[in-house]
Amino acid sequence: MCTYKIFNYVVILLSLTNVSYQEIAKMHGPGLLPKEIIMPARYFVVNLTSILATETLHLSDSFAVEIEGKTPNKNYCRIWVNKLYRKDGTFIVRYKNYETCLDLTISLYYKSKHIKGSPFTFQGPIYPDQCNCPTLDFDTWLEQYGCPKSYNTIDSDLKLYNKINMTIMVQKIIDRFHNPESTSFCHYAVKNNEVYRNCYGKHVGFNMFSDNILMFLARKVVLPDMELVVNLGDWPLVRKNTEPLPIFSWCGSEDTLDILMPTYDITESTIENMGRVTLDTLSVQGSIERQWAEREAKAVWRGRDSRRERLDLVDIARANPDLFNVSLTNFFFFRDKEAEYGPKQPHISFFKFFDYKYLINIDGTVAAYRLPYLLAGGGLVLKQESPYFEHFYKLLKPWEHYVPVARDLSDLRQRVLWARAHDDEAHKIAQNARQFANENLLPQHIICYHAVLFSEWSKRLTNNVTVEDNMTHVPQPSFQCDCQHGRVNFHQEL
Ligand SMILES: *[C@@H]1O[C@H](CO)[C@@H](O)[C@H](O)[C@H]1NC(C)=O
Ligand SMILES: *[C@@H]1O[C@H](CO)[C@@H](O)[C@H](O)[C@H]1NC(C)=O
Ligand SMILES: *[C@@H]1O[C@H](CO)[C@@H](O)[C@H](O)[C@H]1NC(C)=O
Ligand SMILES: *[C@@H]1O[C@H](CO)[C@@H](O)[C@H](O)[C@H]1NC(C)=O
Ligand SMILES: *[C@@H]1O[C@H](CO)[C@@H](O)[C@H](O)[C@H]1NC(C)=O
């Protein structure tokens, strides 16, 4: 077995015993550094294409994975393994451990025989996500976790903010934006790796999402003391012609300056991977039944009536039933139009979208947060042009990763006809989209983006963080865990 490190991945070259015609398989992914990279669900990719090109139909059954370990008290460790077949000769293997595992072994079998090099063993301790065992400082941890040193989008979002006194900024934010009926936001203070917050507004339930990512990180790394304000609404807040105030938001727009974080949706699908959330950028790659050639050459869409163009889409689809399969699933914003554009249709499983080649992405109230899953699923995305964007949109290129559609949808029909007439090009764009998702939108990327963002942000703050008396402490979930190096006890310093 030959192991070497490329960028943030361990790549392992495998060879199959007793298979003479081809010998090399490849593996990569953070799940092969289980001690260093702690995730709710660890994952890696196994590429068997060079071995089995002619047998892909039966590949899923020929390839098997076993992941086992022990604990200090038992000779087994509770681990759930999930094998996702991408139907292109490559697999995603995910595993979730529910307790700290020692001597983890990953065994890979082809037709019941170990692939050469297998089993792979890792001494551990392999902590589950819930362990509250931060020991490293942020910079060391970022490197160990395989995160990039910087992101252009983060540098650009933060360039307005150098030497920020949050004591002053928070008061300005409250003065300008505290309007309980229309905005909700939380002021967070991280001090000695504990998280505190004050929330403002009527609808603050979404603070569970910002809590979750901060707590996730604080369990793994010693966060620097910092303060930040997180907008809990979808609309960005800080208009371009006003004094720039640092607010972290999930969605950006061309006329605002908010600092972007990955949306709560993709963040939750990262933290709850193999947990409460079933749709994520990994599962969507393995739950699709049809390969490109078997998919219907129609454009599919389902969603609620949160924007006028979504009703227009129904008109376009009705006029072109041979090109579209479109329905509204709920009426809320245009209830008076239900007779005209209804009746509303039941939801269909997101995975069903991929029975079709073309996937329409139209804004809802802001950007439609489903785009990461559409890209990862490997369909051709027809994306409405939009002033709204998520943290990764600036890296997407029209005609390379998706097909652009005019904001008023006037060229949508032509775009579908183009795709039908250029099937190879359409397929290529769909493959590029999946590759983009695999390089930018998997759980490790979402965690790294937050981590680098918070790290960069903390370096710009000048004030000493003080925890206001009226702040709420956000506790870590209670979970029994023996931290190997002993948890740093911050409370004594408080
Ligand atoms: C799998 O490996 C083959 C051969 O090296 C390569 O051409 C192909 O792009 C890989 N597939 C994926 C999905 O990475
Ligand atoms: C539209 O899609 C749904 C869900 O896949 C399917 O049940 C229905 O038959 C399709 N309608 C048409 C006209 O193809
Ligand atoms: C930050 O602002 C507060 C409130 O005006 C002030 O008391 C404090 O000295 C400032 N801190 C720094 C480092 O400028
Ligand atoms: C922050 O606190 C440290 C230690 O208590 C102190 O030395 C330093 O002067 C403080 N800085 C500011 C800007 O108040
Ligand atoms: C918390 O206290 C600060 C000052 O001590 C005050 O400005 C702020 O409005 C309070 N916040 C809440 C949510 O009560």
Average pLDDT, rounded, for the chain: 89
Return the ligand number nearest the Cα of 464. Answer: 4
Give the domain ranges of the chain.
9-131, 152-271+444-474, 283-441
Give the Å distance between the CA of 172 and the centre of ligand 3.
Answer: 13
For 317, residues 6+ apart whose C-beta sits below 8 A from its C-beta are: 301, 323, 324, 325, 326
Answering whether pTM is above 0.85, one says yes
**What local confidence, expressed as pLDDT, does residue 20 receive?**
33
Judge if the beta carbon of residue 431 lies within 6 A of ligand 3. no
Position in ligand 3 atom list of the atom nearest CA 165:
1
Give the Å distance between the CA of 297 and the centre of ligand 2.
Answer: 13
Q: What is d(CA 186, CA 207) in angstroms, rounded to the nearest whole number?
A: 7
Q: Whose CA is nearest to atom 6 of ligand 1?
A: 49
Query: What integer is the mean pLDDT of 220-247?
Result: 96
Angle at 417 between CA 416 and CA 422, to 5 degrees: 100
Residue 294: how many other CB atoms lie within 10 Å: 10
Q: Kindly state the tokens that stand for 128.
A: 């589950």
Tell me the pLDDT band of 35, cut-offs 50, 70 and 90.
Answer: very high
Q: Kindly state the tokens that stand for 162.
A: 């150098």
Tell me the pLDDT band of 81, cut-offs 50, 70 and 90.
Answer: very high
The enclosing H or E element of 7 equals none
With b for 16 or more beta-carbon neighbours within 10 A and e for fewer, the 85-102 pattern comes to bbbbbbbbbbbbbebbbe
Residue owning tokens 């559409």: 374
**What local confidence, expressed as pLDDT, does residue 55 receive?**
55
CATH for the stretch 283-441:
3.40.50.2000
Judge if the beta carbon of residue 472 lies within 6 A of ligand 5. no
Q: What is d(CA 206, CA 343) in angstroms, rounded to the nearest whole number?
A: 31
**CATH tag for 9-131 (out of 3.90.1570.30, 2.60.40.10, 3.30.1490.20, 2.30.30.830):** 2.60.40.10
Query: What integer is the mean pLDDT of 34-61?
Result: 80
Query: What integer is the mean pLDDT of 357-367?
Result: 93
Return the ligand number nearest the Cα of 85. Answer: 1
Position in ligand 2 atom list of the atom nearest CA 348:
4
Q: What is d(CA 340, CA 331) in angstroms, rounded to the nearest whole number?
A: 11
Q: Whose CA is nearest to atom 8 of ligand 5?
A: 470
Tell me the pLDDT band of 56, cut-offs 50, 70 and 90.
Answer: low
**What local confidence, expressed as pLDDT, does residue 87 receive?**
83
Give the Å distance between the CA of 464 and the centre of ligand 4.
Answer: 6
Tell me the pLDDT band of 92, cut-offs 50, 70 and 90.
Answer: very high
Q: Whose CA is nearest to atom 8 of ligand 1?
A: 49
Cα–Cα nearest to 30, from 40, 17, 18, 20: 40
Give the Å distance between the CA of 224 and the centre of ligand 4.
Answer: 15
Indicate the top mutation candidate among 23, 24, 47, 282 to test ligand 1's pocket, ranked by most ligand atoms within 8 A of CB.
47
Identify the residue with better confidence: 490 or 110. 110
Summarize pLDDT for 425-453 with one digit per residue, the tens: 999 999 999 999 999 999 999 999 999 99
Position in ligand 1 atom list of the atom nearest CA 90:
13
Tell me the pLDDT band of 53, cut-offs 50, 70 and 90.
Answer: low
Return the ligand number nearest the Cα of 171. Answer: 5
**What local confidence, expressed as pLDDT, does residue 52 receive?**
62
**What local confidence, expressed as pLDDT, does residue 200 receive?**
97
Tell me the pLDDT band of 110, cut-offs 50, 70 and 90.
Answer: confident
Return the ligand number nearest the Cα of 51. Answer: 1
Q: Which of 176-185, 303-312, 426-435 has the highest mean pLDDT?
A: 426-435
Query: What integer is the mean pLDDT of 332-360?
Result: 88
Summarize pLDDT for 308-328 with one digit per residue, the tens: 999 899 999 999 999 999 998
- What is the residue type of 13? L
Judge if the beta carbon of residue 165 lies within 6 A of ligand 3. yes
Query: What integer is the mean pLDDT of 9-26?
Result: 45
Whether the pLDDT of residue 22 is over 80: the answer is: no
Return the ligand number nearest the Cα of 25. Answer: 1
Indicate the top mutation candidate among 165, 460, 465, 466 to test ligand 3's pocket, ranked by most ligand atoms within 8 A of CB.
165
Whether the pLDDT of residue 252 is over 70: the answer is: yes
Tell me the pLDDT band of 89, cut-offs 50, 70 and 90.
Answer: confident
Judge if the beta carbon of residue 49 lies within 6 A of ligand 1. yes
Position in ligand 2 atom list of the atom nearest CA 327:
1
Tell me the pLDDT band of 48, cut-offs 50, 70 and 90.
Answer: confident
Tell me the pLDDT band of 3, cut-offs 50, 70 and 90.
Answer: very low
Tell me the pLDDT band of 288, cut-offs 50, 70 and 90.
Answer: confident
Of 15-24, 154-163, 304-313, 448-457, least confident by mean pLDDT is 15-24
Whether the pLDDT of residue 17 is over 70: the answer is: no
Q: Whose CA is nearest to atom 10 of ligand 5?
A: 470
**What local confidence, expressed as pLDDT, does residue 476 receive?**
94
Whether the pLDDT of residue 285 is over 60: the answer is: yes
Angle at 283 between CA 106 and CA 206, to 5 degrees: 115
**What local confidence, expressed as pLDDT, does residue 397 receive?**
98
Give the Å distance between the CA of 459 and the centre of ligand 3.
Answer: 16
Whether the pLDDT of residue 8 is over 90: the answer is: no
Summarize pLDDT for 368-401 with one digit per residue, the tens: 999 999 999 989 999 999 999 999 999 999 999 9
Judge if the beta carbon of residue 352 lies within 6 A of ligand 2. yes
Judge if the beta carbon of residue 47 lies within 6 A of ligand 1. yes
Q: Which of 51-60, 150-159, 176-185 has the highest mean pLDDT?
A: 150-159
Query: What integer is the mean pLDDT of 448-476?
Result: 96
Judge if the beta carbon of residue 348 lies within 6 A of ligand 2. yes
**What local confidence, expressed as pLDDT, does residue 456 receive?**
97
Indicate the top mutation candidate among 324, 325, 353, 355 to test ligand 2's pocket, ranked by most ligand atoms within 8 A of CB.
325
Of 55-64, 133-142, 211-220, least confident by mean pLDDT is 55-64
339 pairs with which residues across the strands? none
Query: What integer is the mean pLDDT of 355-380?
Result: 94
Judge if the beta carbon of residue 28 lies within 6 A of ligand 2. no
Of all residues in the chain, what percent carry a pLDDT higher than 90? 73
Tell me the pLDDT band of 332, cut-offs 50, 70 and 90.
Answer: confident
Position in ligand 1 atom list of the atom nearest CA 24:
5
Position in ligand 1 atom list of the atom nearest CA 50:
4
Q: What is d(CA 146, CA 355) in angstroms, rounded to the nearest whole number?
A: 35
Side-chain-facing half-sphere of 121: CA atoms under 13 Å: 5
Q: Whose CA is nearest to atom 11 of ligand 2?
A: 325
Give the Å distance between the CA of 436 and the centre of ligand 4.
Answer: 44
